[in-house]
Amino acid sequence: MRLLPPALCASPGPARRGGVTPGLSVKAPMEMWSTSSTEQFYRIPEGKGPHSVGCTDLMTENAVEGSFLRLYYPACDATDIEEARWIPDKEYYQGLSDFLNLYRVVGERLFHYYVGSVTCPAKSNAAFKPGEKYPLLVFSHGLGAFRTIYSAICIEMASQGFIVAAVEHRDESASATYYCKRRSVSESQEETTPTMEKEWIYYRKLKTGEEERCLRHKQVQQRAQECIKALNLILKISSGEEVTNVLHSNFDWNSLKDSVDTSRIAVMGHSFGGATVIESLSKEMRFRCGIALDVWMLPVGEDIYQNSIQQPLLFINSEKFQWAENILKIKKLISNDTNKKMITIKGSVHQSFPDFTFVSGGIIARFFKLKGEIDPNEAIDISNHASLAFLQKHLSLKKDFDRWDPLVDGIGPNVIPGTNIDTSPADPE
């Protein structure tokens, strides 16, 4: 295969619990991010598996209808290659500012100051590690997020031998995203002017009087289609087909030929991305199982409950985010299917899954509820280990992830089976 070169949110109420505060790795001044009297270094955790991890970005043509994703993958050891930028464009700062209701000029300066030089522990465009076929995991981000801010999860999965396609959704649920379009002839006459320019799409807020359920249901259907497009795109690349990447990159896409185990494909996501997992499973049987992290069920259509989901599904919830109505919808979907499980991580919050939890401290962490009572590294380890055990069972992997099987049943330190939420009917007055 050859790729051709081109010529933070407040806590929501019951109806608005899909918000996502994205994640960081940063050397941060103590006034904002730390309770310590000295400057501390906060960092996204590295993958704990046997593989080094690389990442690269891929965008296809066809403007907004095309695919956009960050690919994490097992890589050859490369100490001389720089780590990837965590937030690659200033427009993402602007989008985060809009999402958090900050003035753009203020938000952009703050984000640039605190995270402008942030990297994630994956080597940018590192050589792909050949020699075996890897299972494929498609990842869907939450509301107000984008493709790069669940790197702790994606890097861990890649280090354990998965190819991970982290989709950036263009349904106006991301803080910001973009597609590339060709400049007009008059605009690109100067030799120094690039022939392609970025067309940005920012987060769309609810309009006055607009019903959120209708908007989110429409968005989740688009999101599922984008996950399926990403799946098809990676399989095309693995099959050796020619695909055009409109982003400049020195990554050797030919090295991905015959790299994907097409019988072992799963989908994973957080919050709104968890709803996207459910929608994707209902539409695409090539996804053999799914993992929904602290899922927001509002976008899920009633047809999903009527037709059910055939594939195995793991719900990993935080202790502080869920509420009775949401849990009842999860239970309705699980029904009596023993291949569908729900666990809760004690002491965790909704933001225990994105990267921000690893680099925030002090005032910011308390204000935005970026940290729970549990250590962020322990919480993400529980989530990742349970996910890996679940994937081993339902993708028939020949690994040692089954050592974490008890976690899938909610057995172990700081994890419980089911939910901590009381869903029994209220006693009459």
271 a catalytic residue:
yes
Rounded Cα distance, 306 and 301, in Å? 9
- Which amino acid is it at 98? D
Ordered alpha helix ranges (H), 122-243:
151-159, 212-239
Catalytic residue among 169, 350, 385, 394: 350
Bridge partners of residue 52, in order along the sequence: 75
Catalytic residue among 57, 294, 355, 381: 294
Q: Measure Cα distances from 40 to 43, 45, 343 in Å.
A: 10, 15, 33
Cβ proximity of 382 and 345 under 8 Å? yes
Q: Measure Cα distances from 335 to 275, 313, 340 in Å.
A: 17, 12, 8
| Burial of 256: CB neighbours in 10 Å, binned 0-12, 13-18, 19+ | buried
Bridge partners of residue 81, in order along the sequence: none
294 a catalytic residue:
yes
Catalytic residue among 67, 124, 271, 348: 271
Rounded Cα distance, 202 and 87, in Å? 15
Tell me the catalytic residues: 271, 294, 350
